[in-house]
Amino acid sequence: MEEIGHYIGGERVAGTSGRTQDVMQPMDGTVRGKVSLASAAEVRQAVENASEAQIGWARTNPQRRVRVLMKFLELAHRHYDELAELLAREHGKTIPDAKGDIQRGLEVVEVCIGAPHMMKGEYTEGAGPGIDVYSMRQPLGVVAGITPFNFPAMIPLWKIAPAIACGNAFILKPSERDPSVPMRIAELFVEAGLPAGVLNVVNGDKEAVDAILDDPDIKAVGFVGSTPIAQYIYGRATANGKRAQCFGGAKNHLIVMPDADMDQTVDALIGAGYGSAGERCMAVSVAVPVGKETADRLVEKLIPRVESLKVGPSTDASADFGPLVTREALERVKNYVDIGVKEGATLAVDGRGFKMQGYENGYYMGGCLFDNVTKDMRIYKEEIFGPVLSVVRANTYEEALALPNDHEYGNGVAIFTRDGDAARDFAARVEVGMVGVNVPIPVPIAYYTFGGWKASAFGDLNQHGPDAFRFYTKTKTVTSRWPSGVKDGAEFIIPTMN
């Protein structure tokens, strides 16, 4: 059985805390290995290592730093299949879905190759008599990322790439549920030429998280996960003087207008609602058809599609989705379906009884579809994070628009329509951070920023794109005057341009 420790100082090291957790294989419920759970002392060891390595890395010019990213991309593509299989076996998503996870992370690495341009400052000659003013972006120092189980390649890469491109050293605390891909990513970065210690991986639970939040040498923390934990991390990090960006839960709506192409809409809902077993922060979990006729047509087309979804093991490339990540996650989702039935929603398709032949101990569940869900129900208010789609019927466009606007979360939203005026009005007025127009999962491309609103995000700056370079750097502004033309005598007022 594999023992997974940590990655510190450019090599794998065994854990010393004496605490471990099983790493499961969701498709059959077997134990793949044990991961060490770091103590505060082990986190501190990684921080000390990173602090020492960061000094030389920051002095390396940006162009040479991004050459490491370029070499990493080459290595990642060479090991693409290996990474995808490793990811699928520990997470449960299918191998094609795992490859998408990796690819979306690599796209951010590609954008970070532009770091020399993104880090350029500004310059004004002659801002005053004999005075020049210029600014420069400098790295923060040691920064950290706490990343979730559902994207064990993508989200770590979203954080690692811009952080190290800017000259920081990075401490990654990935999910203890699927730690192998983040460990492998760290190895590939070092193989690509990243100096030992610039990227360290500490596996662990709350003890490791708190150690990161309290460490005085860690200057910034990024997090993705549930809203309660995002609030906790943001509050504790900022109380300790750290810069923080924390992303939480979601309840993503897809508004279906009467003029929408219904076949296209159903395809979108099936893929966005049930892909990766619904374990995505950008999964569509609420369909909002406008008008009774639209709702009836939508549900009529959805039912047979949900019933025919192919659930299979992670290694089955033809499966629509695989198992959930843990038995606890499976039971949690089934419990939400029970709650929906008790609350009075119509369970049009029930996937709770699904069993995978030959994989009876795996964490499988078929797709579930609720109709006649109302906004006072828990299955509407709360994030289920499973293969469950709820249909909330709206009588008018304004009623449909009010649903995402009034919801606690504001991560992603979409509208399907042929009407340009309706789409433009919706994009302007909806109170959500990422909007799709006939696009069900509006994850921005890598050179735009990713981030939600309201209880879906805490902090002023988003992930990847220009915001990443702002988050991982601090701006220094220099006002320079040389002796020629300088007046004698002290000045006792604040400098002005007069």
Each residue's pLDDT tens digit, 134-148: 999 999 999 999 999
Alpha-carbon distance 413 to 332, whole Å? Answer: 24
pLDDT at 487: 63
- Domain 2-248+456-475, what architecture? 3-Layer(aba) Sandwich (3.40)
The whole-number average pLDDT for the span 421-425 is 98
- pLDDT value at 129 more than 90: no
pLDDT at 2: 87
- In 3-state terms, what secondary structure has residue 440? coil
Domains 2-248+456-475 and 252-437 in one fold: no
Which secondary structure element, helix H or strand E, spans residue 66, and what is its range?
helix 62-78
| Options 112, 166, 281, 368, the catalytic residue | 281
**β partners of residue 135:** 477
Angle at 487 between CA 483 and CA 489, to 5 degrees: 115
- pLDDT value at 488 more than 80: no
Alpha-carbon distance 496 to 498, whole Å? Answer: 6
- In 3-state terms, what secondary structure has residue 233? helix
Instruction: Verify whether residue 166 is a known catalytic residue.
Output: no
* DSSP 8-state symbol, 477: E
- Within 10 angstroms of residue 185's Cβ, the number of other Cβ atoms is 26
The whole-number average pLDDT for the span 191-200 is 98
Which secondary structure element, helix H or strand E, spans residue 414, and what is its range?
strand 412-416
Fold classified for 252-437: Aldehyde Dehydrogenase; Chain A, domain 2 (3.40.309)
pLDDT at 130: 87
pLDDT band of 493, cuts 50, 70, 90: confident
Poorest-confidence range of 159-173, 185-199, 350-364, 476-490? Answer: 476-490
pLDDT band of 484, cuts 50, 70, 90: low
Pairing of strands 388-391, 434-437: unpaired
Alpha-carbon distance 346 to 373, whole Å? Answer: 7
- pLDDT value at 496 more than 80: no
pLDDT digits (tens, 9 = 90+) for 237-292: 999 999 999 999 999 999 999 999 999 999 999 999 999 999 999 999 999 999 99
Q: Which residues contact 190 (CB under 8 A, 6 or more apart)?
A: 10, 196, 199
Minimal CA–CA distance to 176: which of 349, 33, 365, 363? 33
pLDDT at 498: 65
> Residues 174, 6: contact at Cβ < 8 Å?
no
pLDDT at 114: 96
Minimal CA–CA distance to 204: which of 146, 144, 152, 248? 146
**β partners of residue 124:** 133
| Residue 284 CA to its chain's centroid (Å) | 15
Listed by start position, the domains of the chain span 2-248+456-475, 252-437
For residue 114, give the amino acid letter.
G
Phi and psi dihedrals of 5, rounded to 5?
A: -100, -120
Q: Over the range 107-136, which residues count as b (16 or more CB within 10 Å of their CB) and which as e?
A: bbbebbbebeebbeeeeeeeeeeebebeee
The whole-number average pLDDT for the span 59-63 is 97
pLDDT at 482: 85
For residue 293, give the amino acid letter.
E
